[in-house]
């Protein structure tokens, strides 16, 4: 048989089923699988027994593989790669080789096996085996449909009016045209050339129906997309037409932030090019038309969106199912531009779509600082004609997706002398010694590492900042000027933020919030006798569209100046004014002196204090990754302090958050 169990297995059916059930119970008890995973395995086993050519041992294997696949889906993998997974159920069970597993799965009545001789439409089973990848049918459908749509769109590049395009770009990029790579001067380190990567991104995205504009913090993604919208609308205007351009983001918080950024930056465009550009951004769910208590949307393949150009911000946060549905709802002629940082944390749910698209576009070649991805000769010709920028690349990629990736290399937030910028680059490339050296280098005072395992040390370092915050709170309360000048309090709150890798346990969000509140109470800055004490910062955990409030929004408890004795939770509006909401009307919320790194995505703080837990178990090690550390680091604008022992730092930098997926391979072809 193709697998061995450490438990005795009898040949009769009742004993075999009992053995499978007992292994599932053991795995549940030690937390290796969830009740949902066990239930799915039992469902598969039941159907195999009803109609299967497999013997009892084969059914046993298929059931346990189903449990493991389901558990990996809970860990955000969209598929299970048979030849590369570690033995996950030891010491309870040991799987055989991938060839043996393939042989068993091919005979299963619950598995659709795809090969060159079997059309992909012949899918009517809960599991799908394609090559060495095992999928749940639903996620196989999401991945295939998304890849098919992207491949069909990338096969039809846009035809641009080059003369008009150059004229518009001259208005949008007024500064001196950069030199070709081989003529451009480098800086003292020989690493930076005079190439306007924003201009390259605008040209590339204008010429492609699918494009990704990716870059770290401060690289100008918002500035780039405003210029892109102006170029596209200007080209349409030249043809006596007008484009329907829409903005979307995965969360309400991200949507509000993009709306604010677009509105603030619009004034930097030439006035003649500002017409017909959108400033309001919606959530993807609202754009597609959510149906209550349903996974489906009003807009879909049969009823496409009314849009010519769709721009999606924070695309790294969009999971596989949602991205598949979003692409399905695009009309045939539409363009889509995905904005995000490919090195940030991926979505909370299954998939790593932005990262997969970028990997496919680069043909899995490394990102070379200040060098373009492997563009085709046609794309390089368009860039040269539109931008007067001559690029070359040492890499080759014949995939259609290769021309869809625009990398923004230069950070306008962090200078060459910034420790944050250098540390981000070192961490992203997995350079542990270089990262440690940057922390130790006194030339970079904006990055610090505290190896203390005592959270109280962090709390003490925060006190000065909170004293200034609560002093401002008290002054505005006394003067009765909060409603007119309260944005000052929000600015002070943004001065510092504690970020955690987990919610529970030591160095978790709940512990850090409790410790900070306890110390503030001792200092007389807050009154813990009241749930909604004056100055308490809270973060929402759910959307409330009726109130115009979104998951991740942060408010501050302050008096209601119109009703003595009452307090409200105040939020900053898109117009930079304040609006108050009675505490009783708030959706679920929590105190937010500390938040998870996931919740911080898209936000910026002057000073960031990042806490990593000690690595004592496998589950704690799985919490940590290079992407997690990078995301937390790049929330900081002025300074970054890491609270971590050396092991947690080493594990974080060494471990990549690589999710099981076949999307990149489908895009390469």
Beta strands at 578-581 and 405-408: parallel, antiparallel or unpaired: unpaired
Q: Could you state, in order of their start, the residue ranges of all structural domains in the chain?
A: 20-136, 162-175+195-413, 421-654
Measure the CA–CA gap between 148 and 191, rounded to whole angstroms. Answer: 38
20-136 and 162-175+195-413 in the same fold: no
Q: Is the pLDDT of residue 134 over 90?
A: yes
Quick check: 343 and 627 in contact, CB under 8 A?
yes
The pLDDT tens digits of the residues spanning 360-384 come to: 988 766 666 557 778 888 888 888 8
Region of poorest pLDDT, from 59-68, 190-199, 384-393, 461-470: 190-199
pLDDT (0 to 100) of residue 575: 67
Binding residues for ATP: 215-222
pLDDT (0 to 100) of residue 155: 75
Measure the CA–CA gap between 7 and 227, rounded to whole angstroms. Answer: 65
Q: Is the pLDDT of residue 267 over 90?
A: no
Binding residues: 215-222
Measure the CA–CA gap between 603 and 634, rounded to whole angstroms. Answer: 9
The pLDDT tens digits of the residues spanning 504-518 come to: 888 899 999 999 999
Q: Is the pLDDT of residue 186 over 70?
A: no
Angle at 609 between CA 430 and CA 647, to 5 degrees: 45
The pLDDT tens digits of the residues spanning 590-636 come to: 999 999 999 998 788 999 999 998 887 677 778 889 999 999 999 99
pTM for the whole structure? 0.86
Q: Is the pLDDT of residue 413 over 90?
A: no
The pLDDT tens digits of the residues spanning 1-23 come to: 444 433 333 443 444 444 888 89
**Domain 20-136 homologous superfamily, CATH:** RecBCD complex, subunit RecD, N-terminal domain (1.10.10.1020)
Q: How many CB atoms lie within 10 A of CB 42?
A: 17
Quick check: 403 and 157 in contact, CB under 8 A?
yes
Share of the chain above pLDDT 90, in %: 41
Q: Which residue is it, tokens 């929000």? A: 490
Task: Provide the CATH number for the domain formed by 421-654 in this structure.
Answer: 3.40.50.300
Q: Which residue has the higher pLDDT, 160 or 569?
A: 569
pLDDT (0 to 100) of residue 191: 40
Mean pLDDT of the chain: 85
The pLDDT tens digits of the residues spanning 209-240 come to: 999 999 988 888 989 999 999 999 999 988 88
pLDDT (0 to 100) of residue 230: 93
Q: Is the pLDDT of residue 183 over 50?
A: no
- Provide the token pair at 348: 């909370």
pLDDT band with cut points at 50, 70 and 90 for residue 49? confident
DSSP secondary structure, 500-556, as one string: ES-SSSTTSHHHHHHHHHHHHHHTTS--TTSTT-TT-EEEESS-BTTTTB-TT-EEE
User: For residue 252, what is the enclosing H or E element?
Assistant: helix 252-266
Residue closest to 279 by CA, chosen among 259, 257, 249: 259
The pLDDT tens digits of the residues spanning 300-337 come to: 999 999 999 999 999 999 999 999 999 999 999 999 99
Q: Is the pLDDT of residue 429 over 50?
A: yes
Measure the CA–CA gap between 400 and 26, rounded to whole angstroms. Answer: 48
DSSP secondary structure, 349-390, as one string: SS--HHHHHHHHHTTTPPPPTT------HHHHHHHHHHH---
pLDDT (0 to 100) of residue 122: 56
Taking domain 162-175+195-413, whether its CATH number is 3.10.180.10 is answered by no
Quick check: 444 and 434 in contact, CB under 8 A?
no
Measure the CA–CA gap between 495 and 525, rounded to whole angstroms. Answer: 18
């Amino acid at each position: 048989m193709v697998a061995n169990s450490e438990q005795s297995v009898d040949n009769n059916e009742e004993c075999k089923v009992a053995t499978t059930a007992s292994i599932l119970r053991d795995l549940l008890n030690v937390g290796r699988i969830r009740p949902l995973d066990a239930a799915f395995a039992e469902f598969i086993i039941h159907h195999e027994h009803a109609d299967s050519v497999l013997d009892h041992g084969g059914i046993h294997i298929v059931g346990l593989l189903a449990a493991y696949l389901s558990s990996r889906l809970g860990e955000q993998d969209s598929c299970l790669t048979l030849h590369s997974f570690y033995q996950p159920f030891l010491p309870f069970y040991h799987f055989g080789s991938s060839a043996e597993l393939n042989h068993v799965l091919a005979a299963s009545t619950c598995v659709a096996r795809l090969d060159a001789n079997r059309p992909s439409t012949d899918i009517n089973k809960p599991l799908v085996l394609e090559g060495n990848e095992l999928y749940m049918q639903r996620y196989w459908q999401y991945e295939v449909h998304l890849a098919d749509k992207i491949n069909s769109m990338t096969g039809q590049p846009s035809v641009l009016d080059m003369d008009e395009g150059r004229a518009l770009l001259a208005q949008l990029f007024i500064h001196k045209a950069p030199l070709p790579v081989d003529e451009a001067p480098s800086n003292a380190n020989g690493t930076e050339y005079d190439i306007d990567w924003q201009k390259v991104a605008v040209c590339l995205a204008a010429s492609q129906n699918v494009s990704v504009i990716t870059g770290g913090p401060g690289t100008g993604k918002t500035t780039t997309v405003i210029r892109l919208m102006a170029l596209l609308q200007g080209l349409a205007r030249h043809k006596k037409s007008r484009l329907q351009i829409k903005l979307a983001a995965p969360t309400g918080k991200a949507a509000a932030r993009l709306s604010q950024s677009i509105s603030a930056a619009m004034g930097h465009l030439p006035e003649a090019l500002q017409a017909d550009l959108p400033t309001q951004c919606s959530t993807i769910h609202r754009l597609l038309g959510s149906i209550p208590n349903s996974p489906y949307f009003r807009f879909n393949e049969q009823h496409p969106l009314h849009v010519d150009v769709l721009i999606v911000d924070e695309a790294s946060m969009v999971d596989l199912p949602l991205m598949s549905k979003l692409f399905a709802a695009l009309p045939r002629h539409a363009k889509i531009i995905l904005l995000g940082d490919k090195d940030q944390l991926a979505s909370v749910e299954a998939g790593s779509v932005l990262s997969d698209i970028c990997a496919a576009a680069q043909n899995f070649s490394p990102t070379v600082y200040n060098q373009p991805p492997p563009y085709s000769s046609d794309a390089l010709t368009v860039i040269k004609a539109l931008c007067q920028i001559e690029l070359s690349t040492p890499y080759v990629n014949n995939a259609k997706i290769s021309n869809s990736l625009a990398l923004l290399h230069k950070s306008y937030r962090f200078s060459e002398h910034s420790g944050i910028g250098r540390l981000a680059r070192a961490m992203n490339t997995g350079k542990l010694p270089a990262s440690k050296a940057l922390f130790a280098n006194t030339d970079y005072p904006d990055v610090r590492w505290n190896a203390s395992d005592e959270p109280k040390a962090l709390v003490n370092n925060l006190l000065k900042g909170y004293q200034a915050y609560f002093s401002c709170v008290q002054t505005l309360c006394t003067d009765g000027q909060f409603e007119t000048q309260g944005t000052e309090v929000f600015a002070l709150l943004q001065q510092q933020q504690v970020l955690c890798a987990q919610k529970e346990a030591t160095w978790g969000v709940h512990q850090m919030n409790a410790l900070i509140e306890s110390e503030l109470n001792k200092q007389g800055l807050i009154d813990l006798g009241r749930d909604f004490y004056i100055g308490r910062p809270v973060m929402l955990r759910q959307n409330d569209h009726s109130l115009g409030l979104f998951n991740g929004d942060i408010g501050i408890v302050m008096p209601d100046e119109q009703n003595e004795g009452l307090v409200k939770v105040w939020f900053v509006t898109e117009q930079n004014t304040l609006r108050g909401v009675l505490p009783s009307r708030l959706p679920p919320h929590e105190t937010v002196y500390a938040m998870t790194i996931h919740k911080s995505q898209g936000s910026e703080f002057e000073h960031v204090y990042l806490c990593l837990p000690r690595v004592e178990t496998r589950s704690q090690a799985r919490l940590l990754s290079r992407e997690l550390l990078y995301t937390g680091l790049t929330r900081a604008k002025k300074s970054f302090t890491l609270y971590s022992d050396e092991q947690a730092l080493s594990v974080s930098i060494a471990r990549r958050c690589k999710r099981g997926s076949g999307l990149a391979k489908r895009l390469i072809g």
